[in-house]
Amino acid sequence: MSASVGALAPAIIVCVVFGSLLAGLAIISWTIVRLVSGSRGRAGSAEESQLIQELYTGLHKMEQRVEALETLLLERDQRGSTP
């Protein structure tokens, strides 16, 4: 019982999307824990601000990738449903 690669592609895409989202949530949670655990003055504040900005940029890029994957899946479904 071997599944074809074409049949597994949507499942792989879904795993990548949800895995990315979970990784993003883990990073955000870790950052919040670091922020709450204690501040280190101005140097720590600048470092934290930079870290938050990098997280925002990374999450924005991830959102764009997810939207691109959704578009690919929708286009693929539309092509598959037309005769």
Angle, CA of 33, 60 and 72, to the nearest 5°: 130
User: Of residues 15 and 8, which shows the higher confidence score?
Assistant: 15
pTM (two decimals): 0.48
Q: Half-sphere exposure of 75 toward its Cβ, with a 13 Å CA cutoff?
A: 6
Q: Which residues contact 20 (CB under 8 A, 6 or more apart)?
A: 62, 65, 66
Read off the pLDDT of residues 13-61 as tens digits, 9 standing for 90 and up.
Answer: 888 888 888 888 888 888 888 777 765 555 667 787 888 899 889 888 9
Domain extent listing, the chain = 40-77
Q: Output the pLDDT for position 28.
A: 86
